Amino acid sequence: MKDDVKKVLLSEEELHAKVAELGAQITKDYEGKNLLLVTVLKGAVVFLADLMRTIDQPAEIDFMVVSSYGSGVKSSGVVKIVKDLDINLEGKDILIVEDILDSGMTLDYIKGMLLDRNPASIRICALLDKPARRKVDLQADYVGFTIPDEFVIGYGLDYDEKYRNLPYIGVLKPEVYSV
């Protein structure tokens, strides 16, 4: 697995330090609130697992599975819910925990959908942000790292469902994509 990695973009140490920083900020901001961490599977599970343990406030978690409609989806951002949240959102302070904010279209759609369910508030926490690729006016309220427009893997992020279990975030060698 390691042999496929061209370079390490963010080491385990850098990731853990940043996650702790985000957790401390979220702990402050959500004092006395009804925090619900919402994660869209699968990329953000590693980030969620680390982040939730740095939040020193009562917090619920819930998961969603979505799939894209047809093949042109990447451009429309319209998604189909494969598995919906179990928890009723009314009165909850939702924090969507995302691995990476890219075009922003998927998250923009999901955020709109969750807003219709009358939560008390809704914010986004993205570990990574690629602002160069944004297609909609959407910003994360908490961002770990702003990164250049390179395809990244590891710490939950995949290429063809692989490399999610790498403990750091890296960039693959070009030959991995071409075989």
Q: Which residues belong to the active site?
A: 102
Find the part of the chain contacting ligand XMP (CB under 6 A) among 31-39, 56-64, 100-108, 110-118: 100-108
In the three-class reduction of DSSP (H, G, I as helix; E, B as strand; rest coil), residue 73 is classed as helix
Segment 53 to 82, residues that bind ligand XMP, using CB under 6 A: 77
Cα–chain center distance at 44? 5
- What are the Cα distances from residue 137, in Å, to 77, 103, 105, 124, 128? 13, 10, 9, 13, 17
CA atoms within 13 A on the CB side of 145: 16
Indicate whether 5 belongs to the interface with ligand XMP (CB under 6 A): no
Measured from the CB atom, is 66 or 122 closer to Mg ion? Answer: 66
In the three-class reduction of DSSP (H, G, I as helix; E, B as strand; rest coil), residue 64 is classed as strand
CB of residue 163 to ligand XMP, shortest distance in Å: 8
Find the part of the chain contacting ligand XMP (CB under 6 A) among 10-18, 52-60, 86-94, 148-156: 148-156
Segment 14 to 53, residues that bind ligand XMP, using CB under 6 A: 43
Number of residues that bind Mg ion (CB under 5 A): 1
Diameter over CA atoms, the chain: 52
Indicate whether 10 belongs to the interface with ligand XMP (CB under 6 A): no
Indicate whether 125 belongs to the interface with ligand XMP (CB under 6 A): no
CA atoms within 13 A on the CB side of 74: 3
Residue 42: cis peptide before it, omega within 30 degrees of 0: yes
Measured from the CB atom, is 34 or 106 closer to ligand XMP? Answer: 106
Q: Which of 10, 26, 153, 166 binds ligand XMP (CB under 6 A)?
A: 153
In angstroms, the CA 151 to CA 158 distance is 10
CB of residue 99 to ligand XMP, shortest distance in Å: 5
